[in-house]
């Protein structure tokens, strides 16, 4: 998971740098960055704690966090695609 985020951030910087002012003024780009920040926060704060507390049980909290992470990833993808199509 961390490797995937690292690759996304590295390639995102390369795509962002030539047109930073244009991208920063686009609301879909800002929405994508918000989803990305929320996904990173979820990974760093919630996921590690929940999985450590429910190791091997597959509790309800683990499923809720999994659904939240999936929704955030789809949000990142959707906002990114919309940004690309509208640009």
- DSSP for 32-72, please give it: HHHHHHHHHHIIIIIIHHHHHHTTTT--HHHHHHHHHHHHH
pLDDT at residue number 86: 85
pTM: 0.73
Structure tokens at 1: 């998971």
pLDDT at residue number 20: 85
Q: Model confidence over 11-64: pLDDT tens digits?
A: 888 888 888 888 888 899 899 999 989 988 888 887 777 766 666 666 777 788
Name the residue with tokens 């795509």.
15
Domain ranges of the chain: 2-86
pLDDT at residue number 57: 60
pLDDT at residue number 53: 66
């Amino acid at each position: 998971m961390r490797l995937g985020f690292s690759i996304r951030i590295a390639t995102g910087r390369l795509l962002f740098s030539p047109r930073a002012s244009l991208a920063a003024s686009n609301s879909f780009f800002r929405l994508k960055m918000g989803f990305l920040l929320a996904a990173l926060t979820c990974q760093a704060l919630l996921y590690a704690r929940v999985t450590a507390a429910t190791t091997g049980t597959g509790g309800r909290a683990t499923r809720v966090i999994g659904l939240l992470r999936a929704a955030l990833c789809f949000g990142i993808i959707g906002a990114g695609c919309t940004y690309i199509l509208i640009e």
